[in-house]
Structure 1
């Protein structure tokens, strides 16, 4: 299967309210030969204030924040390109916990279907997701010599891409440039697969919930979970969340199941906190390894027999499994209550797209007739989609809106930017305070010059948004 290596550069770390300003991707075949490359930048959406710390880290061209193509146009290009490249394995560096969240949110906020990277494309052939960072964690955890892992002065492993690339002579032209990072990630992936194909193939079995179930859970009494850079835990499946089959509960075989057989539902939370039970989401590329050459060096025959005995014992504890099921359902219910929000940016997981809206959104993207786009907005059943579509019209086709509508949207945007409340997005006031801290911490002339560019940008944004009031 082909691979899609991709990377974002963003205005901050909140995938709901920050946004990508650069996105790059490389399509390769199974041997990592490049087939096609895409690299695009976009301007900021009205109302998005870039975090000065994020800009300073990636040294983003300040002029591009206002002069590039729109966010909507960029995401439209990438949705089309990623659809053309499918089916594929979508892969990055720390992509599961960062880039993938931004990708889904960005597709959602540009009126596209957000789950493209793990959606069935041709019948049973499905896109799936992997993460080179997690594979590097395996290498570090098992102390494999697949690639060289750099260390700091305290002999602690450094797993950041730029250091991994440099240590292994992988070219990275400019750290924190999306295309350069994609090329470096691809280079590291090539080394890993070339030097240890067994490791590569074993880790890739965790790329989708279906493969995890069929190839790992169904065929093994127990597995080894790589939970971070240096923690390997033997585990066995207890059960799946009845309301979310991709959320699995595993029992740590470092403990005796008999001690917890009578645990009540109210006690399960403490077992999770105490790392006796681990909750893993199979759509997040959790690394689960089978007994084999990768593990044999660290596990004795006696341990293996004991793990198997405990795993079989767990399967007999019906009440324990039922109580865990209820605890998982309760935990999910509590989370859904806690996550209720009035902000459309945070409502990606609030509901599925109504079937009637799917075709309408496709027509919205494909038609060049602005009047038809406006008619489609009125027909959309999903209130989230209506709001997002109106924002797209304001951003990309403002001449189609009445002055009253534009003034209404400008007022909302200005109030967001100048908000004094404790809100989850970057306001102008937050950006100014962050910039002051940066001025106090940098010494080089080039860094100070770049901060001056950011300061000028913020002043320009402030003038613009004051005119909206």
Structure 2
């Protein structure tokens, strides 16, 4: 199977609110030989304020980000989708991509009225090179050099890893440069640790992960927090009823016989304690799993392998106990409140079949016809994203009253309390903080501050005009 290595540079870290401004990808064959590459950029959308730190890190002035010679965001997303679809099926790999780049891509697709899950569908698989590097460091540390950072801890930052392992990475935080460095690090693992590479490839496929979890009595789950690997022998007790790809596991350092004698109330209280005896992962998120017979002693959490295996078999064989543990854990979880922001509701249900058809029709229609399609969308998320997209791309076809309504709504978001998107006040405060810290050597942030003040004043005028009309 081929691989697609990709990276994004964005206006900030707020998923659903920030946007991709630079996307790069390289297609390779199964042996990691380059076959093709793709790169594109986008100008700012009207409703997005870049975080000043992102501008500083990426080295992009506001004049470049609003350059009308750059493709629009909608145009860029369409090009990305067409390219990645033409490269599918493949294994999609990035560096910290499952937590970040995948999320940014999903939001970009969804807010452009495309299906969000391109890298999970179309027979595609996905994996994360950061997890691969951490797994190598945990299991075979001699295969890759993981440098020590300024604070005396191992650092897994891409540019540090590249430098320590002789990988060229001349332009950190440039999407194509980051992709090239990620490919080279993966080649090193492919050459030096083929067994870990094969496991990495195997568990990029969610069906393979699900089969492994189902067939094994137990296994070692490795999770990474703060640059450290934490190993836990676990047994899967069932599928998360709230998420079909989720698996709920019990750590095997528990007294299983004691758990079996607890009442439902006692069991729920026990599973709610910190640190939790329960571990959860998603089969479609390329988890790091190790069979007991492959696990070295230091991955067994201080337990003896025979005892751990017996514990796993004991739990696995008791379907009633597994069901009680699963039910108690689910009952102990705090429910996720519905976000007031539509941008944060990407996981609150799939569009219905009628809206899926409308989404397809939208991209084939003329701009005047697209307005009727957008207004017919039943999903309020898609309806708002569609109207916002129309305002960004073809506001001339919008009726004047609707255009003003969209402008007021966008202005209120950018003048808001900061619970959603980056606001003018927050952006100005962060810009001033960086400028005071002496990082604005070329007046880039000074010019951005002027841009923010001008935009903020115009938004405040819109608000005032709306209030005056409401008072009449």
TM-score (norm 1): 0.90
Distance 1:292 1:193, change over 3 A: farther
Q: Residue in 2 aligned with 1:257?
A: 256
Q: Residue in 2 aligned with 1:345?
A: 343
Q: Give the 5 Å matches for 1:173-322.
A: 173-214=170-211, 216-228=212-224, 229-266=228-265, 267-268=267-268, 270-271=270-271, 273-293=274-294, 295=296, 303-322=304-323
Distance 1:237 1:432, change over 3 A: same
Q: Residue in 2 aligned with 1:461?
A: 455
Shift of 1:422: 4.7
Once the two structures are superposed, residues 232-257 of structure 1 have per-residue CA deviations (whole angstroms, 9 ceiling, x without a partner) of: 22112122223433221112223332
Distance 1:206 1:442, change over 3 A: farther
Correspondence 1:158 to 2:155: yes
Q: Residue in 2 aligned with 1:400?
A: 397
Determine helix, strand or coil for the equivalent of 1:226: strand
Shift of 1:152: 2.6
Distance 1:262 1:21, change over 3 A: farther
Correspondence 1:434 to 2:436: no
Partners in 1 of 2:302 and 2:450 — Cα distance?
Answer: 66
Shift of 1:311: 0.6
Once the two structures are superposed, residues 270-298 of structure 1 have per-residue CA deviations (whole angstroms, 9 ceiling, x without a partner) of: 53632322111222222111245563786
Quote the RMSD (CA, aligned, Å).
2.4
Kept after mapping to 2: 8 A contact 1:407/1:468 = no
Partners in 2 of 1:197 and 1:388 — Cα distance?
Answer: 45
Partners in 1 of 2:332 and 2:79 — Cα distance?
Answer: 38
Kept after mapping to 2: 8 A contact 1:262/1:319 = no
Kept after mapping to 1: 8 A contact 2:220/2:299 = no
Correspondence 1:357 to 2:355: yes
Kept after mapping to 1: 8 A contact 2:10/2:19 = yes
Shift of 1:153: 5.2
Partners in 2 of 1:438 and 1:223 — Cα distance?
Answer: 47
Kept after mapping to 1: 8 A contact 2:95/2:158 = yes
Determine helix, strand or coil for the equivalent of 2:443: helix
Kept after mapping to 1: 8 A contact 2:411/2:462 = yes
Shift of 1:441: 2.2
Correspondence 1:382 to 2:384: no
Once the two structures are superposed, residues 126-149 of structure 1 have per-residue CA deviations (whole angstroms, 9 ceiling, x without a partner) of: 211100101111122225222111
Partners in 1 of 2:185 and 2:284 — Cα distance?
Answer: 23
Partners in 1 of 2:332 and 2:100 — Cα distance?
Answer: 24
Shift of 1:417: 1.5
Correspondence 1:449 to 2:425: no
Partners in 1 of 2:192 and 2:364 — Cα distance?
Answer: 45
Once the two structures are superposed, residues 177-228 of structure 1 have per-residue CA deviations (whole angstroms, 9 ceiling, x without a partner) of: 11111111111111111111100111233223311122x2233222111112
Kept after mapping to 2: 8 A contact 1:264/1:323 = no
Partners in 2 of 1:75 and 1:301 — Cα distance?
Answer: 49
Shift of 1:389: 1.3
Q: Residue in 2 aligned with 1:3?
A: 3
Q: Residue in 2 aligned with 1:99?
A: 101
Kept after mapping to 2: 8 A contact 1:261/1:319 = no
Partners in 2 of 1:349 and 1:38 — Cα distance?
Answer: 29
Distance 1:306 1:425, change over 3 A: same
Determine helix, strand or coil for the equivalent of 2:378: coil
Partners in 2 of 1:429 and 1:84 — Cα distance?
Answer: 42
Kept after mapping to 2: 8 A contact 1:203/1:288 = no
Q: Residue in 2 aligned with 1:373?
A: 370
Distance 1:194 1:418, change over 3 A: same
Q: Residue in 1 aligned with 2:470?
A: none
Distance 1:115 1:270, change over 3 A: farther
Kept after mapping to 1: 8 A contact 2:367/2:397 = yes
Kept after mapping to 2: 8 A contact 1:236/1:253 = yes
Shift of 1:375: 2.7
Shift of 1:462: 3.0
Once the two structures are superposed, residues 298-327 of structure 1 have per-residue CA deviations (whole angstroms, 9 ceiling, x without a partner) of: 669992222211111112444432222223
Determine helix, strand or coil for the equivalent of 1:242: coil
Kept after mapping to 1: 8 A contact 2:218/2:313 = no
Correspondence 1:148 to 2:145: yes
**Of 357-366 and 323-332, the range deviating more from structure 2:** 323-332
TM-score (norm 2): 0.90
